[in-house]
Structure 1
Amino acid sequence: MEKKGKLRKILYIAAGCLAAIVLVYLGIAFYFRSHYLFNTEINGHDVSGKTVQQAEQLLKDDVAQFELELKEIGGNSESIAGADIGLKYESSANLEEILSGQKVILWPGAFFKDNADEVKIEVSYDVDMLTEKINSLQAVTGEQTSAVSAYPKFDGEQYVIEPEQYGTAVQRDILEERIASAFENLQDSLDLEAEKCYAEPPYTSGSAEVQAACDQMNQYCKAKIVYPMTEEVVVDASVISGWLTVDDKMQVTISEDAVRKWLEEFGDKYDTMGTTRTFTTPAGREATVNGGTYGWSINEIAEYDVIVDAIKNGKTLEREPEYYIGGTAATHAMPDWGNTYVDVDLSAQHMWYVVDGSIALETDVVTGQPIPERITPEGTYSILEKGRNQVLTGATDPATGEPSYRTPVSYWMRVTWSGIGLHDATWQPAFGGTLNQTPGIGSHGCINMPLDQAAALYDMLEVGTPVVIHY
């Protein structure tokens, strides 16, 4: 009996303890019906054992203390405090749902499991205050440098893509939108560059349009034109690259102005027609000659078309440039008439016919009387035509309506289309000296020669032979 009593007592005690434990367990479970379980985190706050109201207060405190950091290009930063724009807490969703969704009867399991949640907090702010604050930002008021697109750049050998550059000019509408969104989502940091708040370059290094322009310009630079002047003049990538441009739409253009300017400089250097030449006369005297119609004269208009066609088609050419009719000479070296030519010395009243550097004929002559209407024109010319038994006619005399003279000659070698030439003059009493200065003896501008010398020269001389007339 005594043993049974003790056993019963033990059972009662055990039952009481179990009941107490159950009550405590259930009590804690009941507690967590209005409080968050252990290891519960909401929006980064530990709300273990807190009520919805207490958790909400933490979120309200976050809003009250909220500050947005703006990370700007170049490592600069600014901030806008919520208080500066009247930021207010309005509500937060899901706090009650998180609480009601807890498995409180299994509350001990919360010790071994982290439970982190994020809730959307509804806020309000003064739009005008935010606009005013944005207006005062250094990112807005500071210097606004524009973005620069990537573009093809010549590196000395070929075109490569020069990377784009980002400026500091903000896109105001995007900036305002991103800042407003950051406040509405309580996002405490905003990278303006990452969020594309700055004006972006239209084209980047990866843009297909930039690569296509680069490829086209390199294709153009494959062209090569070699002009064999006194020295080789080479038009290759180093020159062509200075003629190529690319616009803001990545359209490649060959600059007409640049090509024509180069051709003008090319002509200025190698054109000799009408220029002053310094040379040594057959008599060994240093002399200069100005003007005339003989010499090089590059047809820059025609050569432009050749150059542009070669560039567009990547051609390699070796060529003499296009010349105007008559705009060629014996050599590019100076004097450009070479070593076969007629030399007329107006000072000495003497002429030479030089063939391959040696004097083949020389004679005294009579040239134009030194008055404006009769003077023999200085310059470098060429024999334009030859003719036997010609009648030379002067200008029409207004008083008579007849030519001022008609003079028959046996050997005519034209130098200018205006009527100057070499010919025999059987009427002259003599040649050389200063006879040309005597009225009635000085010619009307032609070079008068003895008959036998004119005949000999006529037989030797070819059309196109240079004629140098100088003092």
Structure 2
Amino acid sequence: MSAKKDGRTSGKNQEKQKNVSIQNNASKQKRISGQKQAFRQKLFVASAAVIGSLCIAYLCVSFYFMKHFFPNTIINGQDFSGQTAEAAEAFFKERTEGYSLTVIANGSGTETIHGSEISLTCREGGEIKAVLKQQNAFQWPVKLWNKKASDVQIELSYDRAALEKRIQSLDAVTSEQIPASSAFPKYDGNTYVIEPESCGTAVNIRAVKECITNSVQTFAAEVDLKQEDCYETPKYTSQSEQVTSACETLNTYCRASITYNMDVPVVVDKALISGWLSVDGDMNVTLNEAAVREWMREFGKRYDTLGSSRTFTTPAGKTAEVSGGTYGWSVDEDGETALLIDHIKKGEVLSKEPAWCQTAAAHGAQDWGSTYIDVDLSAQHMWYVVNGGIAMQCDVVTGAPDASKVTPAGVYYVSEKLSPTVLIGEIQADGKPEYEQEVDYWMRVTQSGIGFHDADWQPAFGGDLYLSIGSHGCINMSKYDAQTLYSMIELGVPAVIHY
């Protein structure tokens, strides 16, 4: 009984303690909640105070910039940061009164343009106030962080015609205008070197006008025309790639040396080549090909023997002169001109023979060499010379002294050998050839049909028989002599026919 009572009492006590604990927790939570609410109220009040202060400060500064220029405000080159429009107007008014601009010229001293000469004044049209009005005062925070200057130009009032006239009267404009000249490659007698550029004294009048006008607008105290690039400048300097490249090309051409192996060597080198070279204003190098061709033409005239007059000693010891014919040296002028130009452009050094259209046995007056046929029309005699010695000789009968039958003088060569053959004359009006003659040995020397052949119809040879029974132009020989000559000569053997 007693034990049951103690158990009930203990349960009641535990329940009572639990209720007390719940009440204490609720009270504690209520107290903490109140503290948080009080903190929030204080934070709100503080934040509102700060924001309010910032707003007031922002508005105050905004109101300030309604009357003052933003930082980094440049008007006509002058800094008016934080200043009022009235202060700026006063500044411009003060500066226009008594303003002068010193113009520094290159080599002609200095000159002064006074504001009074051009009626310089600051306009009263409210342009400066308009600049202030255009700025949005409420954007001042952006302007504080943005360091970029706001450069504004306002119109100053001045007599434009007077300024134009004053500029035109400057010594820099009226003095001798020596134009600028570019650097260029120059031949110094040995090689091409770069001649430096020259700036000259000629001004760029457009640049001068713009520069001086801007200086007046910004109240500049002085302007240096050279520093402001108001002078004409050379197109190319000594450092320009075009100039150095042209110089290199010219020196490449002048390194060429072509030696023609003639009786006396003929050299084409820089002494000659430099006279054929030129450079234009755009630094384009030109080799005067017409001049090269003309030089080659003179070279050909000097060394061509084809058809030229030659003086020599006959096998009989007589001094004779001969010209014309189809045998001799002839330079291929067109072909060799092209080759020479190519050699020069490549800067080649070489020795060579020129290109020939036709060659001969030797250079010199007697270009037929030491093996040839000699026909003396006056003596009516011929010799076959081999290596300078007479291999055979005989009398002949040549063409009759008639314009259509005379044997042509000149230096030729044997171009055809036939045995036997039929010689056919020109076709007459009746359609028949002038003659048809069979011969055993034929040796042609001209394209018109002149040659050596046997003529057994001739009663004799030599003397003056050609005057009465001369040929149609061929050199008539006895069959024995014709056979002998035919057996000894080869195609290409020169034939010198002379008086």
Instruction: Call closer, same or farther: CA 1:295–1:126 in 2, change over 3 Å.
Output: same
Instruction: Call closer, same or farther: CA 1:389–1:211 in 2, change over 3 Å.
Output: same
Instruction: Call closer, same or farther: CA 1:368–1:205 in 2, change over 3 Å.
Output: same
Instruction: Call closer, same or farther: CA 1:190–1:61 in 2, change over 3 Å.
Output: closer
Deviation at 1:283, TM superposition (A): 2.4
Instruction: Call closer, same or farther: CA 1:130–1:421 in 2, change over 3 Å.
Output: same
State the partner residue of 1:432.
462
State the partner residue of 1:76.
108
Deviation at 1:71, TM superposition (A): 1.9
Q: Aligned runs of 1:399-418 on 2, under 5 Å?
A: 399=430, 401-418=431-448
Is the CA contact 2:400–2:466 (under 8 Å) kept in the aligned structure 1? yes
1:347 is aligned with what amino acid?
A: S
Is the CA contact 2:331–2:355 (under 8 Å) kept in the aligned structure 1? yes
State the partner residue of 1:378.
409
Q: 1:210 aligns with which of 243, 247, 251?
A: 243
Deviation at 1:81, TM superposition (A): 3.0
- Structure 2 CA distance, aligned partners of 1:403 and 1:371? 19
**Bigger CA drift: 330-339 or 187-196?**
187-196
State the partner residue of 2:301.
268
State the partner residue of 1:41.
none
Q: Give a deviation string over 1:15-55, Cα, whole Å, max 9, x none.
A: xxxxxxxxxxxxxxxxxxxxxxxxxxxxxxxxxxxxxx9xx
Structure 2 gaps of 5+ residues are 1-86, 129-152
Is the CA contact 2:419–2:442 (under 8 Å) kept in the aligned structure 1? yes
1:362 and 2:399 aligned: no
- Structure 2 CA distance, aligned partners of 1:238 and 1:354? 44
State the partner residue of 2:231.
198
Is the CA contact 2:380–2:397 (under 8 Å) kept in the aligned structure 1? yes
Structure 1 SS opposite 2:272? helix
- Structure 2 CA distance, aligned partners of 1:328 and 1:235? 22
State the partner residue of 1:391.
422
Is the CA contact 2:101–2:223 (under 8 Å) kept in the aligned structure 1? no
Q: Aligned runs of 1:443-462 on 2, under 5 Å?
A: 443-462=471-490
Structure 2 SS opposite 1:275? coil
Is the CA contact 2:96–2:120 (under 8 Å) kept in the aligned structure 1? no
Deviation at 1:331, TM superposition (A): 1.7
Instruction: Call closer, same or farther: CA 1:87–1:373 in 2, change over 3 Å.
Output: same
1:215 is aligned with what amino acid?
A: E
State the partner residue of 2:138.
none
Structure 2 SS opposite 1:398? coil
1:76 is aligned with what amino acid?
A: S
State the partner residue of 2:494.
466
Q: 2:264 aligns with which of 231, 246, 251?
A: 231
Is the CA contact 1:168–1:198 (under 8 Å) kept in the aligned structure 2? yes
**Bigger CA drift: 124-133 or 374-383?**
124-133
Q: Give a deviation string over 1:277-321, Cα, whole Å, max 9, x none.
A: 222222222222121111111112222332233233333332211
Identical counterparts, % of pairs = 51
State the partner residue of 2:147.
none
2:105 is aligned with what amino acid?
A: K
Deviation at 1:148, TM superposition (A): 2.3
Structure 2 SS opposite 1:156? coil
Q: 1:241 aligns with which of 256, 268, 274?
A: 274
**Higher Cα radius of gyration:** 2
- Structure 2 CA distance, aligned partners of 1:464 and 1:147? 66
Instruction: Call closer, same or farther: CA 1:460–1:173 in 2, change over 3 Å.
Output: same
**CA root-mean-square deviation:** 3.0
**Bigger CA drift: 161-170 or 331-340?**
161-170
Q: Aligned runs of 1:342-357 on 2, under 5 Å?
A: 342-357=373-388
Deviation at 1:211, TM superposition (A): 0.9
Structure 2 SS opposite 1:241? helix
Deviation at 1:398, TM superposition (A): 1.8
1:146 and 2:146 aligned: no
State the partner residue of 1:34.
none
Deviation at 1:187, TM superposition (A): 4.9
- Structure 2 CA distance, aligned partners of 1:349 and 1:191? 96
1:316 is aligned with what amino acid?
A: V
State the partner residue of 1:289.
322
Structure 2 SS opposite 1:242? helix
**Bigger CA drift: 232-241 or 329-338?**
232-241
Deviation at 1:386, TM superposition (A): 1.6
Normalising by structure 2, what TM-score?
0.69
Structure 2 SS opposite 1:462? coil
2:435 is aligned with what amino acid?
A: Y
Is the CA contact 1:275–1:291 (under 8 Å) kept in the aligned structure 2? yes
Deviation at 1:394, TM superposition (A): 0.6
- Structure 2 CA distance, aligned partners of 1:179 and 1:61? 17
Normalising by structure 1, what TM-score?
0.73
Is the CA contact 2:370–2:385 (under 8 Å) kept in the aligned structure 1? yes
Instruction: Call closer, same or farther: CA 1:265–1:141 in 2, change over 3 Å.
Output: farther
- Structure 1 CA distance, aligned partners of 2:437 and 2:277? 61
State the partner residue of 2:3.
none
